[in-house]
């Protein structure tokens, strides 16, 4: 059994649900993901029985004996939301949360968060942030060495560095997911060109290509370790 939060993708279309799962699994290979797409006869719609069965399978694949464990459901629209809410109410699934987020973006963000070991509520929050308005991005600086200075407001160390992106595809899809997973493994808040390094979607939105220079910034107990690891990852 897995100790990571599991996901259930609920869609009016079986093909759509399976496609979203396929993409999310590329980002988070250790996360258990179930699908509940379409009706029992294969037509478009949402099925109470299929959703309940998918949630039951997901719960059965994970360890639920610790706080924060469980399943997060993501839906495509309207009646899928109502179906999940009905299942949650009637079946009394205690370790279940429903994320109100764009299906594809939310599923990817949730999968990456679950892969990093986040709790159920944190996975749900990651999915819902994927639908939030973009935050401003700061421009990158020339390549330079790590700089440490004191944050006057919080007395935290702020660690900064720049790195040249070596991956041939830049920070797209899988490279962005791997970077986000790495950033999330440290007790630190890490940013790439002003975007949250722990969010693959925010990193992908930067449009960084091979050879581009990015600016890294981190605060927290493991800020230095995080920056060192991300620089190595970006330049390998």
- Contact (Cβ atoms closer than 8 angstroms) between residue 197 and residue 219: no
Q: What are the CA-CA distances from residue 131 to residues 6, 11, 85, 164 (Å)? A: 20, 17, 20, 29
Report pLDDT digits (tens) over 171-222: 887 888 889 889 999 999 999 988 889 888 788 878 888 888 999 999 999 9
Q: Which CATH class is domain 147-235?
A: alpha beta
Q: Which CATH class is domain 6-129?
A: alpha beta
Q: Measured on CA atoms in the order 139, 103, 182, 233, is the torsion positive or negative?
A: negative
Name the residue with tokens 């992908």. Answer: 204
Beta bridge mates, 216: 161, 192
Active site residues: 12
Average pLDDT, the chain: 85
Domain ranges across the chain: 6-129, 147-235
Report pLDDT digits (tens) over 4-31: 899 999 999 999 999 999 999 988 889 9
DSSP symbols for 50-84: HHHHHHHHHHHTB--SSTT-SEEEEE-SHHHHHHH
Report pLDDT digits (tens) over 122-152: 999 988 887 665 544 444 444 444 555 545 4
């Amino acid at each position: 059994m897995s100790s990571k939060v599991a996901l259930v993708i609920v869609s009016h279309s079986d093909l759509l649900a399976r496609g979203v799962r396929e993409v999310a699994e590329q980002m988070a290979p250790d996360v258990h993901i179930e699908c509940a797409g379409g009706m029992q006869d294969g037509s478009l719609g949402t099925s109470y029985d299929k959703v309940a069965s998918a949630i039951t399978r997901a719960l059965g694949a994970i360890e639920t004996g610790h706080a924060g464990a469980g399943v997060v459901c993501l839906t495509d629209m309207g009646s899928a939301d109502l179906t999940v809410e009905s299942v949650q109410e009637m079946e009394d699934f205690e370790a279940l949360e429903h994320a109100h987020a764009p299906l594809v973006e939310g599923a990817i963000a949730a999968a990456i968060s679950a892969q990093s070991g986040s709790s159920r509520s944190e996975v749900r929050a990651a999915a819902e942030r994927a639908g939030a308005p973009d935050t401003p991005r700061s421009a990158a600086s020339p390549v330079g060495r790590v700089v440490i200075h004191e944050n006057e407001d919080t007395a935290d160390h702020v660690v900064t560095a720049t790195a040249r992106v070596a991956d041939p595809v830049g920070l797209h899809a899988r490279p962005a997911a791997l970077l986000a997973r790495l950033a999330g493994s440290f007790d630190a808040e890490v940013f790439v060109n002003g975007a949250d390094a722990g969010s693959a979607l925010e990193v992908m939105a930067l449009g960084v290509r091979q050879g581009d220079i990015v600016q890294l910034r981190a605060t927290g107990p493991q800020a230095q370790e995080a920056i060192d690891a991300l620089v190595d990852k970006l330049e390998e």
